[in-house]
Amino acid sequence: MTAQEQPELKYKRILLKLGGESLMGRRSHGVDPEATLRIAREISEIQAMGAEIAIVVGGGNIFRGMAAAAKGMDRGTADYMGMLATLMNALALHDAFSKIHVPVRVQSAINAPQVAEPYIRQKAIRHMEKGRIVILASGVGSPYFTTDTAAALRAVEIGAEAILKATKVDGIYTKDPKKHADAIKYHKVSYDQALKDKLRVMDMTAFAMCRDNHMPVIVFDFFTPGNLKKVVHGKKIGTVVY
């Protein structure tokens, strides 16, 4: 089936936010090449359907600045280490996409010309238009931010129609569904309601950026095969924050 024959995509240009932990597989830290390859396969399916994809990858499977700062490290230095961790993950993803012959580029907000292009907005857009997946590494390139904020900023910059936040839970609940049997899932929730109900969608900087720029965020369980496809087709998966 060609891209033209596919059913309409609800979201054509998307920003997929992948937490670093998604590359761990069953490990307690680091990168599991098999899990990374599975993720690349899943993403390549929506690319084949005509989706334009930018990925912001986190680094929590390797290093988190805040955690190191809490143990006495200088926060700025620790955050730069965290950003470098995201670059390592980006390279692991690049490797996985290349193995399955999916065109891909890595752009980094910290200059690392031997391994990645610098982040250039217009060039990132051009890559997507040409059918390449763009992996955006090193967050926003500054300490005291998270990759959720990078996802929000880049999504707005590249004109993404939505941020797809890949998680292990299938959406946002009134309370922690693991601890409370009576927790209720939101299928849709406005930014104002999310604030009122004190729901943790993203950190506050990312949240404000998305709200001010009318960027929908879809929180969904990425680890159930086929879910990503359903999300881009606009099926009722996860929670839409709008």
Q: Give first-to-last CA distance, the chain, whole Å.
A: 33
35 lies in the binding site for ligand UDP (CB under 6 A): no
HEC profile of 113-153:
CCCCEECCHHHHHHHHHCCCEEEEECCCCCCCCCHHHHHHH
Using CB under 6 A, which of 13, 64, 132, 154 touches ligand UDP? 64
Q: Which residue has the closest beta carbon to ligand UDP?
A: 58
Cα–Cα distance for residue pair 200/203, rounded to 1 Å: 7
Cα–Cα distance for residue pair 137/117, rounded to 1 Å: 10
Using CB under 6 A, which of 11, 97, 119, 145 touches ligand UDP? 145
User: What single string gives the DSSP state of each residue in 24-73?
Assistant: -TTSSSS--HHHHHHHHHHHHHHHHTT-EEEEEE--TTT--HHHHHHTT-
Least gap, CB of 202 to ligand UDP (angstroms)? 10
Per rule CB under 6 A, count of chain residues that contact ligand UDP? 22
Pattern 5-34, ligand UDP, x by CB under 6 A: --------------xxx-------------
Number of H helices, E strands in the chain: 8, 11
Least gap, CB of 205 to ligand UDP (angstroms)? 10
119 lies in the binding site for ligand UDP (CB under 6 A): no
Q: Which of residues 146-185 bind ligand UDP (CB under 6 A)?
A: 146-147, 150
Cα–Cα distance for residue pair 75/24, rounded to 1 Å: 25
Using CB under 6 A, which of 3, 29, 34, 66 touches ligand UDP? 66
Least gap, CB of 234 to ligand UDP (angstroms)? 25
Residues of the shown chain interacting with ligand UDP in the complex, contacts defined by CB under 6 A: 19-21, 58-60, 64-66, 79, 82-83, 85-86, 139-140, 142-143, 145-147, 150
